[in-house]
Amino acid sequence: MNSKNRYLDILPEIASALSGGKPVVALESTIISHGMPYPKNIETAKRVEQVVRDNGAIPATIAILKGRLKVGLSDGELEYLGKAGTDVIKASRRDIPFLVSGQKDGATTVAATMIIAAMAGIQLFATGGIGGVHRGGENSMDISADLEELANTDVSVVCAGIKSILDIGRTLEYLETVGVPVVGYKTDDVPAFYASSSGFKVDYRCDNPLEIGKAIRAKYDLGLNGGVLITNPVPQIYALAPEEIEKTIHDAIIEMDNRGITGKDTTPFLLARIAEQTQGESLETNIELVLNNAKLAADIAVAASGLRG
């Protein structure tokens, strides 16, 4: 057995799907503990899993519980994470060994979810938005570990683009430097999480899941490490006006700087402020874009499963 695997607990349904070459989609757990309040977080997590199932794939929600790397969570484990909320450590790459050795709990970020998914043999992951270079990052050097993971870990990510609170232009430059292709699903523009367009162009446009599946297969067949970033615009009916979001973010960043909020606390603070200023509308948009990404990830996983052999 691979030494990494002794730390993994894979639900039997997921293990069976992986061994049989069936489509599996990884899902993160930070959205459960840090992304929204209880019980909305649990309701959303279950809805996301059901969307994956409804579109022909098996969902694998990932977390760290009592030091075990969990690939797939029971209803009880989902409930536990949802109720514990922000008391659960927000876990990235650097946190994993200490959570494992200390037998502690962790809600996995994009980076940590990718790592554990790769250990289990899952190559596709659906999330809301990815992290990136923070505004002012040229001075603070605040750059999300998500970008390094995309460059090095063989898991492709479906998202609604780069979070609006970040410096999208610099994030795209970083991704280009480390060789991560940015795909737009039925769009030429990089979406900006709450908004359907950031004003920046994707590297490649793909108009069907099979096209994306073939590109991912070719990447790994060629031995090119890292993931593909698949951006999927939020459905227009749920999209927020870019100029309104930008003003809210600008004001929240000033407040954040004045209060000395840095590091891991910045994203939760900014998202909370946006939710307050939009009177909860941003939370509903967040939920809808995650559901939309889960559907696309399942469609790609199903398409890619037909390419094996």
Read off the pLDDT of residues 255-303 as tens digits, 9 standing for 90 and up: 888 898 877 677 778 777 877 877 678 888 889 999 999 999 999 999 9
**Domain residue ranges of the chain, discontinuous segments joined by +:** 3-305
> Which is nearest to 112 in space by CA: 63, 77, 182, 61?
63
Do residues 200 and 233 make contact, with C-beta atoms less than 8 angstroms apart?
no
Average pLDDT score over residue span 177-181? 97
Whether the model clears a pTM of 0.85, i.e. scores above it, the answer is yes
Average pLDDT score over residue span 168-172? 94
Residue 135 scores a pLDDT above 80: no
Q: What is the mean pLDDT of the chain?
A: 92
> Which is nearest to 73 in space by CA: 92, 55, 88?
88
pLDDT-wise least confident of 88-102, 182-196, 267-281:
267-281
> Which is nearest to 142 in space by CA: 171, 162, 181, 115?
171
Average pLDDT score over residue span 151-159? 97
Say whether the peptide bond before residue 39 is cis (omega within 30 degrees of 0). yes
What is the separation, in whole angstroms, between the first and last Cα of the chain? 24
> Which is nearest to 120 in space by CA: 71, 182, 51, 191?
71
Handedness of CA 121, 127, 216, 131 (dihedral sign): negative
Count of positions (residues) in the chain? 309
Active site members: 28, 163
Report the alpha-carbon distance of residue 134 to residue 140 in Å, rounded.
8
Predicted confidence band of residue 4 (pLDDT cuts 50, 70, 90): low
pLDDT-wise least confident of 7-16, 45-54, 129-138, 299-308:
129-138
C-alpha Rg value of the chain to the nearest Å: 18
Report the alpha-carbon distance of residue 108 to residue 128 in Å, rounded.
13
How do residues 12-28 score in pLDDT, each as one tens digit?
999 999 999 999 999 99
Q: Which are the contacts of 171, defined by CB distance < 8 A and separation ≥ 6?
A: 132, 133, 147, 162
pLDDT for 1 equals 43
Report the alpha-carbon distance of residue 109 to residue 93 in Å, rounded.
9
Tell me if residue 299 falls in helix, strand or coil.
helix
Helical (H) or strand (E) element with 35? none
Beta bridge partners of 58: 24
Query: What is the CATH code of the structural domain delimited by 3-305?
Result: 3.40.1790.10
Report the alpha-carbon distance of residue 252 to residue 246 in Å, rounded.
10
Rounded to whole angstroms, what are the CA distances from 105 to 22, 47, 65, 101, 102?
29, 23, 4, 11, 9
Beta bridge partners of 64: 69, 106
> Which is nearest to 278 in space by CA: 222, 217, 219, 195?
195
Average pLDDT score over residue span 142-150? 91
- Percentages helix, strand, coil for the chain, rounded to the nearest 5? 50, 15, 30
Rounded to whole angstroms, what are the CA distances from 171 to 14, 122, 163?
33, 25, 10
Report the alpha-carbon distance of residue 232 to residue 158 in Å, rounded.
7
